[in-house]
């Protein structure tokens, strides 16, 4: 019997007031580091998700350079803003260990999705990935360590936190779609997902 790798899904981790405070902090990051549209390496095809980052390193993707971490925004050339304290507190509360080096902010508008993939652009897979969802519910699919392993669906609602560590750190996963109108946190609708990561091994 094989089933999808279990993940640590903390439903309702942030209450409504905490979600609103986190949204404000994210809006301040986006004001300094505007959302950009990443592109697939080689094909140059655009992601349907828009992204930005905070923290010492940010994840990005473009046609020429591939998937990678960089210390500056690809369009402004400025360093990424610092990670909001609220997010660092969540990382610590869930037992993240050495502080996150990268914090990726994904914005899913209506119709945006993310295909099944593994997160392997980091050198340190022993550290967890901690993800926080805000806004409309995302239909999340998680499988196993191969692309063909069976998958399981989770509904990621506003205020939910996921902690991926151990085996699930390298599980295939993706967002099939968002559920329009499932939250009124974001006036314009859509979904924000925030992921905090270690990139390098701590000294």
Map residues 73-112 to x or -, x wherever contact with ligand MD5 holds by CB under 6 A: -------------------------------x-x------
Helices (H), ranges, 33-174: 85-93
Tally helices (H) and strands (E) across the chain.
Answer: 2, 12
Nearest CA among 88, 103, 95 for reference residue 127: 95
For ligand MD5, the nearest residue by Cβ is 171
- Kindly state the smallest distance separating residue 136's Cβ from Fe ion, in Å: 18
- Kindly state the smallest distance separating residue 3's Cβ from Fe ion, in Å: 20
Of the residues 83, 90, 119, 192, which one makes contact with Fe ion according to CB under 5 A: 119
Task: Show the 3-state SS of 63-100.
Answer: CCCEEEEECECCCCCCECCCCCHHHHHHHHHCCCCCCC
Helices (H), ranges, 11-166: 16-32, 85-93
Helices (H), ranges, the chain: 16-32, 85-93
CB closer to Fe ion, 119 vs 136: 119
In the region spanning residues 140 to 179, those forming contacts with ligand MD5, defined by CB under 6 A, are: 142, 164, 168-169, 171, 173, 175
Taking the C-alpha atoms of residue 58 and residue 36, their distance in angstroms, rounded to an integer, is: 12
Q: Which one-letter DSSP state was computed for residue 158?
A: T
Residues binding Fe ion: number (CB under 5 A): 1
Of the residues 193, 196, 198, 199, which one makes contact with ligand MD5 according to CB under 6 A: 193
CB closer to Fe ion, 119 vs 160: 119
CB closer to ligand MD5, 186 vs 203: 186
Say if residues 75 and 36 touch (Cβ distance below 8 Å): yes
168 binds, among ligand MD5, Fe ion, none (CB under 5 to 8 A by kind): ligand MD5
Q: Look-up: residue for tokens 């924000």?
A: 192
Instruction: Confirm or reject binding of residue 122 to Fe ion (CB under 5 A).
Output: no
Per CB under 5 A, residues contacting Fe ion are 119
Per CB under 6 A, residues contacting ligand MD5 are 7, 104, 106, 114, 119, 129, 131, 138, 142, 164, 168-169, 171, 173, 175, 193, 195
């Amino acid at each position: 019997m094989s089933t999808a790798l279990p993940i640590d899904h903390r439903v309702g981790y942030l209450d409504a007031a905490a979600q609103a405070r986190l949204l404000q902090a994210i809006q301040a990051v986006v004001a300094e580091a505007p959302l950009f549209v990443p592109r697939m390496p080689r094909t140059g095809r655009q992601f349907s998700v828009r992204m930005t980052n905070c923290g010492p390193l940010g994840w990005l993707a473009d046609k020429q350079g591939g998937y990678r971490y960089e210390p500056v925004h690809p369009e402004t050339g400025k360093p990424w803003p610092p990670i909001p304290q609220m997010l660092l507190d969540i990382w610590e509360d869930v037992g993240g260990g050495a502080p996150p080096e990268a914090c990726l902010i994904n914005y899913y508008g209506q119709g945006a999705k993310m295909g099944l993939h593994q997160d392997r652009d980091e050198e340190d897979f022993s550290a967890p990935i901690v993800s926080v969802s805000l806004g409309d519910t995302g239909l999340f699919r998680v499988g196993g360590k191969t692309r063909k392993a069976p998958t399981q669906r989770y509904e990621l609602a506003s205020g939910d936190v996921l902690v991926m560590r151990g085996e699930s750190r390298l599980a295939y996963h993706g967002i099939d779609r968002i559920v329009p109108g499932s939250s009124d946190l974001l006036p314009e609708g859509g979904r924000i997902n925030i992921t905090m990561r270690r990139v390098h091994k701590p000294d």
